[in-house]
């Protein structure tokens, strides 16, 4: 009988549990062995074994060894910490309310699928294309920023890159933010705060400027009745209102504004209907007012926002990933808890 190819990889988690990854073309056999041994599968399809009862855990591991042998599945212990612990340690030190979600990459196609969402298409894309990874983690701030964390098999370093914003919300046309590479969670979090997130915010800002400018130019050329598609004009206005809200927030959080600038922003914000309880729900009269404000004051707002563009984190010619100096693998200190 043909023996399916399958592997069970065991990771020790700092959260007092063992995490198991079943992979390979015969993954079902590996999952059967885990179930027979007493591992439980959560909603994210990740198998775990609690360690709060040492005797029971030892018995389960003994059963796993036997079940794996019976199912002709290879079992191995991974030498590095569980990626979910690294992800939790990173988000604990990021500004705002970040959360981490772990994804098990049981098949090669799982990580190939992630390539479609990675903004930077060089080193990170190649890693997902060629390497065999066990887990990936999504880091989300709840406001639309999404990062992807993986462990590079060649040296155990952690690679974090930004995911492309949803095309439904923004046409991301700016130079992608660079991924960062670090030897431990603490350094990765530092690089995310000081390099990746500023790079990301700048790319988002520049993409907003480009889209707002193109939409305004089109609307100014085709706003005469009968000379445009009303639905297309409404969609462009809605995009501009979204971008305008972000521009105004950036301007108010930046350099001190003059009294004249403050009055202008208040007038634009009110005219675009951004101060309403439901800013995207405008009646016909409010919609007409917003369109007039857009066509009359849109260019000035864009110019103010352009002047407030964050400076690049590094020189434009340096587009390689931000990387920590990696010590020999045997002495890499990997963080598995929060750093404050």
- The whole-number pLDDT of residue 13 equals 93
CA distances from 264 to 47, 253, 255, 268, 270 (A): 56, 16, 15, 6, 10
Q: Is 208 exposed, middle or buried (0-12, 13-18, 19+ CB in 10 A)?
A: buried
Helix-strand-coil percent breakdown of the chain, rounded to 5? 45, 15, 40
**294/142: higher pLDDT:** 294
- Residue 216: strand, helix, or coil: helix
For residue 130, name the pLDDT band (cuts at 50, 70, 90): confident
- Residue 9: strand, helix, or coil: strand
Q: Do residues 128 and 112 lie in contact, with contact meaning Cβ atoms separated by under 8 Å?
A: yes
What mean pLDDT do residues 40-49 have?
87
Q: Do residues 131 and 125 lie in contact, with contact meaning Cβ atoms separated by under 8 Å?
A: no
Least confident of 32-36, 164-168, 186-190, 326-330: 326-330
Instruction: Tell me how far apart the alpha carbons of residues 130 and 183 are, in angstroms, rounded to a whole number.
Output: 21
- The whole-number pLDDT of residue 227 equals 64
Least confident of 110-124, 242-256, 259-273, 312-326: 312-326
Tell me 294's DSSP state: H
Give the whole-number percent of the chain exceeding pLDDT 90.
60
**34/275: higher pLDDT:** 34
Instruction: Tell me how far apart the alpha carbons of residues 222 and 133 are, in angstroms, rounded to a whole number.
Output: 51
- The whole-number pLDDT of residue 279 equals 63
H-assigned helices in the chain: 27-37, 54-70, 83-91, 108-114, 123-130, 185-191, 197-221, 230-253, 259-271, 284-307
């Amino acid at each position: 009988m043909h023996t399916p190819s399958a592997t069970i990889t065991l990771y020790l988690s700092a959260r007092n549990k063992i995490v198991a990854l079943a992979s390979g073309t015969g993954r079902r056999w590996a999952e059967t062995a885990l179930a027979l041994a007493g591992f439980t599968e959560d909603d994210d399809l990740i198998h775990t074994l609690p360690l709060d009862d040492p005797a029971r855990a030892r018995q389960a591991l003994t059963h796993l060894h036997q079940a794996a042998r019976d199912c002709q599945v290879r079992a191995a212990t991974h030498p590095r910490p569980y990626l979910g612990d690294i992800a939790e340690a990173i988000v604990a030190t990021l500004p705002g309310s970040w959360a981490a979600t772990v994804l098990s990459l049981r098949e090669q196609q799982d990580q190939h699928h992630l390539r479609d969402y990675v903004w930077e298409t060089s080193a990170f894309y190649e890693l997902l294309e060629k390497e065999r990874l066990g887990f990936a983690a999504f880091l989300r701030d709840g406001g639309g920023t999404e990062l992807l964390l993986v462990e590079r098999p060649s040296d155990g370093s952690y690679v974090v890159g930004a995911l492309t914003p949803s095309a439904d919300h923004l046409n991301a046309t700016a130079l992608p933010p660079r991924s960062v590479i670090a030897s431990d969670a603490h350094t990765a979090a530092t690089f995310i705060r000081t390099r990746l997130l500023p790079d990301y915010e700048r790319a988002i800002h520049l993409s907003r400027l480009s889209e707002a400018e193109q939409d305004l130019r089109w609307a100014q050329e085709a706003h005469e009745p009968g000379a445009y598609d009303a639905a297309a004009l409404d969609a462009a206005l809605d995009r501009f209102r979204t971008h305008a809200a972000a521009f105004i927030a950036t301007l108010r959080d930046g350099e001190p504004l003059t009294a004249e600038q403050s009055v202008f922003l208040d007038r634009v914000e009110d005219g675009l209907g951004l101060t309403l309880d439901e800013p995207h729900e405008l009646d016909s009269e409010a919609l007409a007012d917003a369109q007039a404000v857009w066509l009359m004051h849109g260019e000035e707002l864009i110019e103010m926002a352009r002047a407030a563009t964050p400076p690049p984190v590094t020189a434009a010619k340096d587009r390689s990933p931000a990387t920590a100096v990696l010590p020999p693998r045997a002495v890499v200190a990997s963080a598995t808890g929060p750093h404050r």
